[in-house]
Amino acid sequence: MAGDLLLKNVRPLGGEPIDVLLREGRIAPAGAPGGAAEPVECSGAILAPGLVEAHTHLDKTLVGMPWYRNEVGPLLVDKIDNERAQRRLLGIDPERQSARLALQALAFGSTHIRSHVDVDTELGLAAIEGVMATRDRLAGVVDIEIVAFPQSGLLVRPGTVELLEEAMRMGSQVVGGLDPCAIDRDPKGHLDVVFGLAERFGRPVDIHLHEPGELGAFSLELIVERTLALGMQGKVAVSHAFCLGMADPERVAGLVELVAEAEIAIVTTAPPSRPVPAVRQLARAGIVMAAGSDGVRDTWGPYGNGDMLERAMLLGLRNNLRRDDELELALEVCTAGGARVMALEDYGLEPGCRADLVLLEGETVAEAVVSRAPRRLVIKGGRIVARDGRALVEAA
Amino acid sequence: MAGDLLLKNVRPLGGEPIDVLLREGRIAPAGAPGGAAEPVECSGAILAPGLVEAHTHLDKTLVGMPWYRNEVGPLLVDKIDNERAQRRLLGIDPERQSARLALQALAFGSTHIRSHVDVDTELGLAAIEGVMATRDRLAGVVDIEIVAFPQSGLLVRPGTVELLEEAMRMGSQVVGGLDPCAIDRDPKGHLDVVFGLAERFGRPVDIHLHEPGELGAFSLELIVERTLALGMQGKVAVSHAFCLGMADPERVAGLVELVAEAEIAIVTTAPPSRPVPAVRQLARAGIVMAAGSDGVRDTWGPYGNGDMLERAMLLGLRNNLRRDDELELALEVCTAGGARVMALEDYGLEPGCRADLVLLEGETVAEAVVSRAPRRLVIKGGRIVARDGRALVEAA
């Protein structure tokens, strides 16, 4: 590890300019002697804790590959089936692709990534193995957490449960799930497997829940029941949760209460074309919210680049956040919120926290979010890992 | 004017690479002798007609000014009242600000801009005069069309009608209107004034219609009636038209038929937090659609940068456009659609068209839209006016 750094003239979350000493990979107490620390002039840039990409799919991005012409049909199942076919045809290598996207995300300031990684009966555990190799190779550069994710269904494809179990045994950190009704057609069976594995391996859960309206509300209730029954408060995340955006304020208010009681975190990608959980409403209810890019330039869709500051902007646009204090909330979702979902220890700007940091350009946090200027510096464990929008580590 | 240009190795809208000669400010026929034209190597970049910013507010952007901390209340009237107050407090100079934003938009590839410009009893015609000065100064660099826009209401503020009339007499090109029910509280009176001025000055109409659901549908019907009665088919645009995004497919289908019959164009900013007209539905009905940034970094909200390629991406995200052919539609809305709304003559890539062009990076149009790389070249009237994302003309 390189030596200590003294960040000169940074403004923590847009506050007054100070110098911040990074010593042995952590933030030193204010006024600690700098000693031989290397000074880095930061010219009043905003200091924020590292961005947290809390929902992406590192294993199947096409970043760095030739452009994929998308001619896929309109249904969810069209996209799932097409993806399995294209994985073979295009030669999407999970190790190579995950490294490319992880480093691109790092260049945009994400120091932590939660990635869902496909497990199915065609692919087996190849994607898990590939992303694990990247996770290990990039340890200390960008932290990657792996969710074993039954993208093609769990019970509808016999053999998947065993693969998911093996993925956990190999060292996946989170048990994934997907639309217990709409995809697996057996919500009780699906959730019993997911929560059963979580209990057995002592790991958290993160379930994709695209199901809209009352269908999603039903699945969400089942998730709440199991979370409470197993005492898993604080260990369950629901991604997307479109049902919390449905057009029935009273029903949504009731669900929000349940989610808050079960201490379930909600992870959103803030898609402009779907109903979404309302950030301000969930924040008022004390629910932990995180955000993610979802798939980045893959066979599902062409969008995305892994920039969580752009995601904060999209979160703001989707939730009609206009005031400066509201955009501070958007950034909080993309930093501290993600950190809570990933149960990161020692995350933040307090003395003693790990020096996982990003420098943002702007007079205020709001300006930084809407401007999305290239990140001047990204720091991981006290070491500079990206500069002026470029990672200092090479992908394979 | 500089001499002729020979664009070497460009791919018109992503097609096969060819050379394109620009002669005397226009696109020359294929195979025309290049003569002394200066060759410009374009390395396979995508050639598109200039982007068209069909709905913005050049007069009140804060681009280039100190960051404005937004603490405004939630209502529409809060934003309108705050803006009138801030205009004085912040010293928002319409001439200076419109030039800044117009040149920023140009650097992003917009060769044509329709700007609504505020007219009210406090401001008088100062904003119209300021943007006119910019329009004249930048003639030949970026074309600006001015909509005289009663932002604070027309009939609710006595004296505004006379000012709007004077704005038209001074040379505003389009008569603007705003929420005939919600703001002016007198839909018949409002629309009679707007269409009366249009008839008298022989100019087109562009009406902001934020009114949601049935209220907006009612106003839209009134607009259709007047368009048909006055024979103004093809000369009326409705901006926003949130009512076309309401959750009643049959009602919307009926409105879409009316809009198509009256040949009314719909201009959208594709806001992620509002119901919006569905791009595919309107395209199928043969309705002309255009897009715009709306306000860019102003007292209404912090978002926006004037990049119409980013707007095409947001249009795609808002309408869940994923396929390559769908993103081609998004770009078409931001180019040819805007050109039809602005009634531009000789616009496009055909021989004889004016050489108002932009070079985009990407294998396909879809990749160009989602990547939004800095524009390599922007050409106006056959002359290079921006390069690598920077305008070659200075703001005041």
**Yes or no, beta carbons of A71 and B324 under 8 Å apart:** yes
Query: Which of chain B's residues have a Cβ under 8 Å away from the Cβ of A370?
Result: 297, 302-304
Residue range of the domain that includes A305: 52-341
- pLDDT, mean over chain A: 96
CA atoms within 13 A on the CB side of A10: 25
Q: Are residues A284 and A377 in the same domain?
A: no
B16 interfaces chain A, CB cutoff of 8 Å: no
DSSP class of residue B124 equals B
Q: Are residues B25 and B155 in the same domain?
A: no
Query: Which of chain A's residues have a Cβ under 8 Å away from the Cβ of B316?
Result: 303
Of residues B274, B302, B367, nearest to A370 (C-beta): B302
**A365 domain residue, yes or no:** yes
pLDDT score recorded for residue A348: 98
Closest CA to A144 of A94, A208, A213, A186: A94
Q: Are residues B207 and B167 in the same domain?
A: yes
pLDDT score recorded for residue B1: 41
CA-based torsion, A69, B358, B23, B25: positive or negative: positive
Residues 6+ apart with CB under 8 A from B16: none
B75 interfaces chain A, CB cutoff of 8 Å: no
Cβ neighbour number for residue A308 with a 10 Å cutoff: 29
**B396 domain residue, yes or no:** no
Q: Are residues A105 and A253 in the same domain?
A: yes
Q: Are residues B12 and B127 in the same domain?
A: no
**A396 domain residue, yes or no:** no
Query: Residue B361 is part of a domain; what is its CATH number?
Result: 2.30.40.10
Closest CA to A377 of A367, A369, A385: A385
Of residues A301, A313, A363, nearest to B66 (C-beta): A363
Cβ neighbour number for residue A213 with a 10 Å cutoff: 15
Structure token digits, residue B81? 């009242």
pLDDT digits (tens, 9 = 90+) for A102-133: 999 999 999 999 999 999 999 999 999 999 99
Q: Are residues B355 and B334 in the same domain?
A: no
Structure token digits, residue B243? 């009512």
Closest CA to B90 of B64, B121, B55: B64
Residue B109 main-chain phi, psi, to 5 deg: 105, 5
Query: Residue A223 is part of a domain; what is its CATH number?
Result: 3.20.20.140
Q: Are residues A206 and A82 in the same domain?
A: yes
pLDDT score recorded for residue B396: 57
- Mean pLDDT in residue range A198-204: 98
- Distance (Å, rounded) from C-alpha B378 to C-alpha B390? 9
pLDDT score recorded for residue A1: 42
Q: Chain B: nearest CA to A317, how far in angstroms?
A: 6
Closest CA to B45 of B374, B306, B335: B374
Q: Which residues of chain B, if any, have pLDDT below 70?
A: 1-2, 395-396
pLDDT digits (tens, 9 = 90+) for B153-184: 999 999 999 999 999 999 999 999 999 999 99
pLDDT digits (tens, 9 = 90+) for A353-364: 999 999 999 999
Q: What angle do CA B347, B348, B354 make, to 5 degrees?
A: 55
B276 interfaces chain A, CB cutoff of 8 Å: no
Q: Are residues B31 and B126 in the same domain?
A: no
Closest CA to B19 of B4, B50, B2, B40: B40
Structure token digits, residue B125? 């015609």
Disruptive mutation site among B46, B63, B65, B69 for chain A (greatest number of A CBs within 10 Å) = B69
**Yes or no, beta carbons of B313 and A327 under 8 Å apart:** no
Q: Are residues A319 and A362 in the same domain?
A: no
Per the structure, the count of domains in chain B is: 2
B297 interfaces chain A, CB cutoff of 8 Å: yes
User: Is residue B93 within a helix (H) or strand (E), and if so which, with residue range?
Assistant: none
Q: Chain A: nearest CA to B133, how far in angstroms?
A: 28
A248 interfaces chain B, CB cutoff of 8 Å: no
Q: Is A107 left (phi over 0), alpha (psi -120 to 50) or beta?
A: alpha
A303 interfaces chain B, CB cutoff of 8 Å: yes
**A31 domain residue, yes or no:** yes
- Mean pLDDT in residue range A226-254: 97
Query: Which of chain A's residues have a Cβ under 8 Å away from the Cβ of B274?
Result: 320
Q: What is the amino acid identity at position B272?
A: P
Q: Are A369 and B305 in contact (CB under 8 A)?
A: no
**B178 domain residue, yes or no:** yes
Of residues B272, B362, B371, nearest to A318 (C-beta): B272
Disruptive mutation site among A61, A65, A70 for chain B (greatest number of B CBs within 10 Å) = A70
pLDDT digits (tens, 9 = 90+) for A79-101: 888 998 898 899 999 999 999 99
The interface predicted TM-score of the complex, written ipTM, equals 0.95
CA atoms within 13 A on the CB side of B382: 22
pLDDT digits (tens, 9 = 90+) for A282-340: 999 999 999 999 999 999 999 999 999 999 999 999 999 999 999 999 999 999 999 99
Q: Is A312 left (phi over 0), alpha (psi -120 to 50) or beta?
A: alpha
Query: Which of chain B's residues have a Cβ under 8 Å away from the Cβ of A322?
Result: 70, 72, 300-302
pLDDT digits (tens, 9 = 90+) for A362-380: 999 999 999 999 999 999 9
Q: Are residues B40 and B89 in the same domain?
A: no
Closest-CA residue of B relative to A317 is B272
A299 interfaces chain B, CB cutoff of 8 Å: no
Where a domain ends, among B341, B360, B379?
Answer: B341
Q: Are residues A192 and A324 in the same domain?
A: yes
Q: Are residues A384 and A333 in the same domain?
A: no
**A126 domain residue, yes or no:** yes
Q: Are B113 and B142 in contact (CB under 8 A)?
A: yes
